[in-house]
Amino acid sequence: MFSLRRLRLIIALLGAGLLAGCMTDDTNPAKTAGMNPRVAAPSLSAQLRPGDTMIVSLLGIPEPINSSVQIDEQGLIRLQYIGAVTAAGLTASELSQGIRDTYIARNFYTTLDVSVNVTERYVYIGGEVQRPGRIIWSPDLTLAKAVQSAGGFTLYAKETRVTLTRDRQAYAIDVKLAQRQPEQDPILFPGDSIQVPRSAF
């Protein structure tokens, strides 16, 4: 009887210890504080997006043509003679080929080379910043830098819960933390959208 009681006591103590260990792992602030979520890289970052600006050059013809165009909200660009061409969702190389094929198929040219040179790409920021709108993207642009480019936060901004949306996935980012610790400041990609909410206080 004593041995059985002792065995039950040992099992109960072990169970309590395991439960406490699990609770510590889940609730220990040291394991969750001081980190922003990992933001997944875009699935197809080379794809063109609405707002991208580019120069389309038609070459190998008697009078070469250079057109500065921007992808509109419907994902289209407009070119001489052929009108609207779908650009969003394609790479620059795919767009070049599509433009070439269209000109030739419509008998405007028999031979043609097309060059697409992307000149400006953008991220978008809205909410509680001084100058909401588009920001020109660069390879070293981070979320904190984007906020600075937008004139900084307003007095009412909730700086610790800024929403970064990429590929229809939203991430809550603490920009104060990102400003203190650069490794916690996510790199932005063209087409990213940032929304700064208003604080309740």
Class of domain 122-196: alpha beta
Helix (H, G, I), strand (E, B) or coil at 193: strand
Examine domains 53-120 and 122-196 and report if their fold is the same: no
Q: Are 178 and 144 in contact (CB under 8 A)?
A: yes
**Which of 179, 169, 170 has the alpha carbon at shortest distance from 197?**
170
Q: So what's the pLDDT on residue 34?
A: 75
Token output for 26: 């889940």
State residue 4's pLDDT score: 54
Q: Which residues in the chain come in under a pLDDT of 70?
A: 1-33, 44-45
Residue 69, Cβ density class (10 Å: 0-12 exposed, 13-18 middle, ≥19 buried): middle
Architecture of domain 53-120 in CATH? 2-Layer Sandwich (3.30)
Domain limits, the chain: 53-120, 122-196
* Nearest Cα residue to 146 out of 183, 186, 198, 197: 186
**How far is 69 from 40, CA to CA, in rounded Å?**
30
Residue 2 has a pLDDT of: 47
Instruction: Look at residue 22 in the predicted model and tell me its pLDDT.
Output: 40
pTM over 0.95: no
The pLDDT value recorded for residue 32 is 47
SS3 state at 25: helix
Q: What share of the chain has pLDDT > 90, as a percent?
A: 73
Q: How far is residue 179 from each of residues 5, 143, 158, measured CA to CA in Å?
A: 58, 9, 14
